[in-house]
Amino acid sequence: MAGVARSYKQNIEQMVVHQDDIREEEETLDESGDPLDESGQTVDSSEEEIEESVAEDMQRFEDSFVGINKRFRLINRIGEGTFSTVYKAEDLEYNRYNNNWDIDEKEDSKWSSPATKRRNSRHRPKYVAIKKIYVTSSPIRIFNELDLLRDLRNSENVCPLITAFRHNDQVIAVLPYCQHRDFREYFRDMKVPEMRIYFRNLFTALRSVHRAGILHRDIKPTNFLYNPEHARGMLVDFGLAEREGTDWHQCACTLSSEDRRYKIQHSVYAAHLNAGNQPSSYPKNDNRSSRRANRAGTRGFRAPEVLLKCTQQTTSIDMWSAGVILLTLLSRRFPFFHSADDIDALLEITSIFGRKKMRETSLLHGQVFETNIPSYSDQGHSLEKIILWATSRSGKDENGEKQQLLPEEKEAVEFLYRLMECDPAKRITADEALRHPFIARAGDDIEEDEDALDLV
């Protein structure tokens, strides 16, 4: 069994790489499953009775991966996505290694005596998550995921890679088991003070990821395992992640405003308009080559520049996705965007931000956006109005006055505008987000409540 060896009481930073397994192949659109379906496939309880089909699946896994049952005892299947399946397992060789990744053990050791530590380490089972990557995944993508996880191994709120193994064409990654709750169980009840803590965890993880020059590309609730009781979250699943600058080609969004204006004035689109054609028509003989760009991710969470095939995408695409999560929490609707394809996704964004903003955003990336749907206004709607409508507060209150957002919601919406900025260059960064008052005040509300209880 080839693998990335865990160190016997020492740290060895070495990954076994088989160069003959790595080959370049044409990039295609990698899309995660529907966010609503995927949420239903992620569970955190292994005390429930295991379904017969799951038990058979685990048995097939053990039979196909020789030696896996000597190192780990499979307990349950806890996740099933487009590119992998995740199992909860007991680490049978935990005590033979250094386990700096074990956050729970570190926290417990702060309050335990040496004798208690030794007793707990001997008798308490240690759980890990085993990610079985489907053999249909390309070898270069599997290596890329493991390589990025190794680079992020000391990052706060990022699920670290413990080790990895390969048997024939099957690769598994061993990760810490993160206790969490299904997003659908708590998103409707989460108060603004709790949202602050949730996003402080998420942006702490993204700060580390983005400082390393890595785009996660698939930020969504099912990839951020959050435990409301412990107020702790872990960013997982780097299967679609890549380093910033990978396969870049110049996009109009990186040009100066003067150069961009000149390029637009001398484009096929401008010539088409000068010939007296309608904006919504198409050139008969368009000999331009098709535009290719990375559009990996999940429907409903892709940033506008991804949908518009920007060829120089940056870490800001993750910030937009985080904004969609905040919009979901404030509106109490999951998933908020539920498009069938990229065109529908653009139209959903247009229904909020308006046709004028989408035309400007499209031209920013050298694209043209036109729609003749009469219900879409030029100016769109404010996020405040969208949230009030989604939470059934668009009418008047008992006193006949127009309902308004709560003060703490207004601060959240102001922060939301910074995240869901259509121009990626103006979008807030993870560093800036952690300094924003909405995040910087995380925990203050809870401390004030605790002080009040102490006084009582």
User: Could you tell me the domains of the chain?
Assistant: 45-178 (3.30.200.20), 242-448 (1.10.510.10)
Lowest mean pLDDT among 54-58, 98-102, 286-290, 402-406: 286-290
pLDDT digits (tens, 9 = 90+) for 6-40: 544 443 333 444 433 433 344 445 677 666 555 44
Catalytic residues: 218
188-221 per-position pLDDT tens digit = 999 999 999 999 999 999 999 999 999 999 999 9
Amino acid identity at 320: W
The answer to whether 11 touches 193, Cβ cutoff 8 Å, is no
pLDDT at 241 exceeding the cut of 90:
yes
Give 86's strand partners. 79, 131
Residue predicted with more confidence, 170 or 19: 170
Among 224-238, 253-267, 359-373, 436-450, which is the least confidently predicted range? 436-450
CA separation, residue 300 to residues 31, 335, 435 (Å): 11, 8, 27
List the beta strands (DSSP E) in 196-327: 214-215, 224-227, 232-235, 242-243
Q: Which residue has the higher pLDDT, 444 or 60?
A: 60
Side-chain-side CA neighbours of residue 216 (13 Å): 32
**How far is residue 159 from each of residues 107, 205, 353, 413, 430, measured CA to CA in Å?**
16, 9, 35, 29, 18
Summarize pLDDT for 283-320 with one digit per residue, the tens. Answer: 666 666 778 888 889 999 999 999 999 999 999 999 99
Torsion of CA 351, 353, 355, 356, to 10 degrees: 170
Q: For residue 404, which of 421, 422, 384, 420 has the smallest C-alpha distance? A: 384
Chain Cα centroid distance, residue 149? 15
Residues with Cβ < 8 Å from 309, sequence gap 6 or more? 291, 292, 293, 295, 365, 367
Of the listed ranges 140-154, 259-273, 375-389, 425-439, the one predicted with least confidence: 259-273
pLDDT tens digits for 109-119?
655 566 655 66
Q: CB neighbours of 434 closer than 8 A, spacing ≥ 6?
A: 200, 203, 204, 207, 440
* Pair 253, 278: CB distance under 8 Å: no
Q: Nearest to residue 214, comparing CAs of 238, 237, 242?
A: 242
Strand residues in 198-247 grouped as ranges (E)? 214-215, 224-227, 232-235, 242-243
Distance between CA atoms of residues 427 and 105, nearest Å: 38
pLDDT at res. 106: 72
How long a stretch of residues is the chain?
Answer: 456
C-beta atoms surrounding 340 within 10 Å: 8
Buried b / exposed e over 35-69, threshold 16 CB at 10 Å, is beebbebbbbeeeeeeeeebeebbeebeeebeebb
Inform me whether the pLDDT recorded for 43 exceeds 80: no
3-state class of 176 per DSSP? strand
Torsion on CA atoms 345, 351, 353, 358, rounded to nearest 10: 60
| Average pLDDT in the chain | 85
- The enclosing H or E element of 87 equals strand 84-91
Contact 274, 247 (CB under 8 A): no
Question: Distances from the Cα of 269 to the Cαs of 9, 231, 255, 346, in angstroms?
Answer: 64, 51, 18, 20
Residue 121 has what pLDDT?
Answer: 54
List pLDDT tens digits, range 98-135. Answer: 898 888 787 766 555 666 556 655 567 899 999 999 98
